[in-house]
Structure 1
Amino acid sequence: MATQQRRERERARRASLIVSAAREMAEAEGWDSVTIRKLADRIEYSQPVLYGHFAGRGAIVDAVALEGFEELAESMERARTSAEDGGELEAMAQAYLDFAAAKPAVFEAMFTLAEGLQFGDEALEPLKAGFASLYAVFAPLAGEGQDPETLTETGWAAIHGLATLNRDGRLRPGLQSQRLQILLQRFRGGSGA
């Protein structure tokens, strides 16, 4: 029994090492530089060892994305629950934007590269937790006759759009705070119409 537990711990440690190395490489050099061969060289294991943990590069990207969703959900929830009354939406939105700016490769894995993660009703728990934080701040803003989940999806899409366009250098620099304030005012200004 003790031998089996030790093997399981060692396996989990190697998987974590692979995911951490992939994140570091992607943040430093972009996802195109992350290959099974380069990962194996970096962590000093053979390629078959990596394939023993992950079916391929896509599965590693999915693991990085899942970690990212866990971190983003925790960050948004921490921001939301520690904000002053009335400041929850802004705090949560800022946490989202900060995460996207601080971890661009992880953000890319989460929303562009991940292939094996389901959203919506079939989502894994970290994805549901992130949506729950969003829902907690947007649902109370739903006007009469509005579906709170649809309003939450719309709010998420707007914040995500700001994060993505800013990250990709598609917006004029130095105006992110102003853009966020405009967006928040639109949502706070009533039923979201």
Structure 2
Amino acid sequence: MAIEDRRERERAARRSLIVATARKLAESEGWDAVTTRRLSTEIEYSQPVLYKHFAGMEQIADAVALDGFGELADALHAAKSGDGDALGRVAHAYLDFARDHPAVYDAMFLRSTTLNFATDDTPSQLNAAFATLKDAVGGHDADTNTEVFWAALHGLVILTRTGRLRPDQQSARLHLLVDRFDRA
């Protein structure tokens, strides 16, 4: 049994290395730079080793996204706990996460994915991020309110990133959004 345990630990370590390397490459050079050939060179394993862990790039990006959702849930949860304006802190944490991890954010929300949202088989990391956001938003029909708030935050992320909003008004926009939901 010890040999099987060791092999499983090694397999898990290789998988983690693949995901971490994909994330590092995506953050530094963009998702177009993340290919199975490039990953195999970077981690010093053959491409068939990659395919023992992942069927292809989509599954690698999904693994990066899952890690990102876990990190986002942690960031939102940490922001929520504290005194005063929990919704404002959570909104800031969301925008900060998207700004600090653009390639991970892309894997989570912009790349094509096999991850299911709002279904019985939604991964726990997605549910945790949504639940923390929902807890901060609250209100009548909290699920719908949270979806609208999330959509607004996502819109702010993308429109800011692509330079379509006035940079000097970001704080005012976020304050307005939070204020509207605090009164809902």
TM-score range, shorter chain: over 0.9
Instruction: Report the TM-score, using the length of structure 1 for normalisation.
Output: 0.91
Instruction: Report the TM-score, using the length of structure 2 for normalisation.
Output: 0.95
- Cα distance between partner residues in 2 of 1:127 and 1:11: 25
Alignment-derived partner of residue 113 in structure 2: 115
**Which structure 2 residues correspond to residues 137-156 of structure 1 after superposition, within 5 A?**
137-139=136-138, 142=139, 146-156=140-150
Shift of 1:114: 4.3
Superposed CA deviations along residues 21-59 of structure 1, whole A, max 9, x for unmatched, are 100100111101110000000111100000111001111
Deviates more, 1:165-174 or 1:147-156: 165-174
Alignment-derived partner of residue 34 in structure 1: 34
**Which structure 2 residues correspond to residues 34-183 of structure 1 after superposition, within 5 A?**
34-81=34-81, 83-85=82-84, 87-122=85-120, 123-139=122-138, 142=139, 146-183=140-177
- Cα distance between partner residues in 2 of 1:35 and 1:169: 28
Number of equivalences: 183
Root-mean-square deviation (CA), in Å? 1.1
Deviates more, 1:162-171 or 1:66-75: 162-171
- Structure 2 counterpart SS, 1:116: coil
Identity %: 52
Shift of 1:174: 3.0
Checking the alignment, whether the CA contact within 8 Å between 1:62 and 1:116 is kept in structure 2 is yes
Superposed CA deviations along residues 107-144 of structure 1, whole A, max 9, x for unmatched, are 000001141100003311111111111111111xx2xx
Deviates more, 1:164-173 or 1:16-25: 164-173
Instruction: Structure 1: state its 5+ residue gaps.
Output: none
Instruction: Structure 2: state its 5+ residue gaps.
Output: none
For the pair 1:186 / 2:184, whether they are aligned, the reply is: no
Deviates more, 1:120-129 or 1:87-96: 120-129
Checking the alignment, whether the CA contact within 8 Å between 1:80 and 1:91 is kept in structure 2 is yes
